[in-house]
Amino acid sequence: MKKIVTTLFAICFIYCSCLATTIVITVKNYQFSPANVNALVGDVIQWKWSSGTHTTTSTNIPIGAASWDKNITSTTTTYSYTLTVAGTYNYVCTPHQDFGMVGTLNVTNALPVTLTSFTAAPAKLNTALLAWVTAKEENTSYFAIKRSNDGRNFSEIGRVDAVGNSSLVQQYSFADNNLGTTDPYLYYSLEIVDKDGRKESSKIIAFKNNAVTSKLIRNISPNPVSLPGHLMLQFWSDKTGTLNAKVFSGEGKLVLNQDMGADVGLNNGHIHLGDLMPGVYNIVFTMDGKKETYKVVLQ
């Protein structure tokens, strides 16, 4: 993460551009990965095709930012966008936004703080120890620790006071002692706040919650499924790979076999059942040695 000290916006932007970070967002069937990104003015967002036929299309963006609407396909595999304005950028894949294929860029201006690391590690059962290091601070007030169970919606769970002004290495930590028992992955971010109220957000990191028994499916809906037969699901993965879904009729006949790409953490998926006859179906999900079966009614 880069940090820049300046009082002139023009100089700041030129300097940011020189040190810009390129953040890659993978585009695959029914999801942007990661779907929620914290970035700085001057960073470059690059959408990179993995599978399917998609777009990256801006919807709500800050005043003064340039809108975009680009295809991401097997023939147009990348699109890069330079962030020039702070604020929240919302975007979608036009044909798949109703399937949850949406993304958010949270963009802030750099503060005069050099954050050299931010990590999360298990300390004991049901506890995550967050640790971060700064190499330089100027006018820093505090660090707000934010947590999410889906990587999209974050809430503040604590604050740690900053040293404020320092040119020496400073080490900080915070223990999250209430991880819950439902989500095998949690997401954390730091919000750095200076004494003038300005804010900068760190990268988002994922934490494996070992207090929760590993599972595949987080939710599957709707059930029953009505025509046109779109079944949406969220699923967990411990590594980059593929979730396989086999759909069996009530008589046990395999009627649909589908693979969905997965990244570490929470993923979105979609199964189209509209070509099948109404009835009761069993869907068997398998990945990385795990298997789960769900009964679905197609009306």
The predicted pLDDT at position 9 comes to 33
Report the number of secondary-structure helices (H) and strands (E) in the chain.
Answer: 1, 24
Could you tell me the pTM of the whole model?
0.85
- 14-68 pLDDT, tens digit per residue, is 333 345 799 999 998 889 999 999 999 999 999 999 999 999 999 999 999 999 9
For the chain, the first-to-last Cα distance in angstroms comes to 51
The phi, psi pair for 95, rounded to 5°, reads -75, -15
The predicted pLDDT at position 242 comes to 94
Quote the CA–CA distance of 218 and 46 in Å, as a whole number: 29
Omega within 30 of 0 (cis) for the link into 228: yes
For the chain, which residues score pLDDT lower than 70?
1-19
The predicted pLDDT at position 180 comes to 87
Omega within 30 of 0 (cis) for the link into 122: no
Which domains does the chain possess? Answer: 1-109 (2.60.40.420), 111-212 (2.60.40.10), 217-298 (2.60.40.3080)
Task: Specify the length of the chain in residues.
Answer: 299
Q: What is the DSSP string of 8-75?
A: -HHHHHHHHHHTPPEEEEEEETTEEESSEEEEETT-EEEEEE-SS-EEEEE-S--TTPPP-EEEESSS
**Neighbouring C-beta atoms of residue 123, cutoff 10 Å:** 14
Quote the CA–CA distance of 150 and 266 in Å, as a whole number: 7
Tokens of 119: 């990590």
Local structure of 109: helix, strand or coil: coil
Helix or strand (DSSP H, E) at 236: strand 230-237
